[in-house]
Amino acid sequence: GANNNAENVGENQPLIGAVHPMNGQLASGTEGDDPNHKEYVPEPPMDIPPLPPGALMKTVMAALVNAINRQGQYMREQ
Break the chain into its structural domains and give their ranges: 2-32+44-77
pLDDT digits (tens, 9 = 90+) for 18-72: 666 666 666 666 655 666 777 877 777 767 678 888 889 999 899 889 888 988 8
Q: 3-state class of 65 per DSSP?
A: helix
Residue 78 amino acid letter: Q
pLDDT at 29: 61
Q: CA separation (Å) from 71 to 1, 39, 44?
A: 44, 21, 10
Helices of type H across 1-78: 57-77
| Contact indicator for 60, 51 with CB cutoff of 8 Å | yes
